[in-house]
Amino acid sequence: MPIKIAVNGAGGRMGKILIEAVSAADGAELAVAIERPDSSLIGSDAGELAGIGKIGVTVVGDIKQVVDQFDVLIDFTVPMSTVNNAQVCGAAGKAMVVGTTGFSPEQKAAFDSAVSNISICMASNFSTGVNLCFKLLDMAARVLGDDVDIEIYEAHHRHKVDAPSGTALSMGEVVADALGRDLSKVAVYGREGQTGARERDTIGFATVRGGDVVGDHTVSFMADGERVEITHKASSRMSFARGAARAAVWLTGQNAGRYDMQDVLGLK
């Protein structure tokens, strides 16, 4: 029997692609599509909204009305909505796949409390390629050690509201952990004016926003005489959506707990 999946933010750019990906995924069935209560899309057919034709799933505006109709909720929206949905899913014992980023400390605490008793797969990026990069970054940092300067570059479309991207921050955390550093103490998010010489322990972030860039990330390990760069470029959000659908199917066989895409792909 296929896993019944709900998609939050059905009318958004990512929501539409998630609907398409879930509808095409083996072992999965799109059972619920959710939008804001005041959305003009309420009552629409989710398949028509996503451009794949009518599938008989009507967009609703209240997760509480449909919480008994799905096994896993996929949420790639905004922190406030994700926290609210986590409280509903936590109370009902429903699993979650979460790609939302940009939580405030208060929102993160509320989210963590809400999902403490359910299985959840949470990642800054659900792309198979990006998660392979995480593995490669850990290896590179351990091999190159403290003999290199490390800088992280990321570029996204003009509509992205948080910076640096969650993926860039995750890359920084992977590198910092491998080197025994605390990212919150060594991260540099901007440079201007007379900054002085670069301190070796710092990890720099550069952010670019513009056009329709889906997502570019490069981590540079720079030494005297050579540098190593690990790059991932996304040309379609479908890579993220397919990963999320894969995670949702995988998650239903797991015990309650916190997982990420590294678990799903068996990279740990």
Q: How many CB atoms lie within 10 A of CB 165?
A: 24
Q: Do 241 and 206 reside in the same domain of the chain? A: no
Q: Which of 156, 185, 233, 268 is catalytic?
A: 156
Same domain? 8 vs 113 = yes
Question: What is the tally of structural domains in the chain?
Answer: 2
Do 22 and 91 lie in one domain? The reply is yes
Residue 1 CB partners (closer than 8 Å, separation 6+): none
By the 8 A CB rule, do 130 and 167 touch?
yes
CATH of the domain at 61: 3.40.50.720
CA 254, CA 192: separation in Å to the nearest integer? Answer: 47
185 is an active site residue: no
pLDDT digits (tens, 9 = 90+) for 22-41: 999 999 999 999 999 999 99
Whether pLDDT at 125 is above 90: no
pLDDT tens for residues 211-245? 999 999 999 999 999 999 999 999 998 999 999 99
Q: pLDDT by residue (tens digit) across 65-100? A: 999 999 999 999 999 999 999 999 999 999 999 999
Please tell me which residue in 160, 185, 217, 268 is annotated as part of the active site: 160
* 138 and 116 fall within a common domain: no
pTM: 0.82
Residues 10 and 40 in one domain: yes
The pLDDT, as a whole number, for residue 103 is 92
Judge if 15 and 108 occupy the same domain: yes
* Structural domain boundaries enclosing 149: 128-234
156 catalytic? Reply is yes
Same domain, 228 and 251: no
Q: Are residues 24 and 105 in the same domain?
A: yes
124 band by pLDDT with thresholds 50, 70 and 90: confident
Whether residue 7 sits in one domain with residue 114? yes
pLDDT at 121 over 90: yes
Return the pLDDT at 268: 78
Q: Are residues 32 and 100 in the same domain?
A: yes
Residue 155: CATH number of its domain: 3.30.360.10
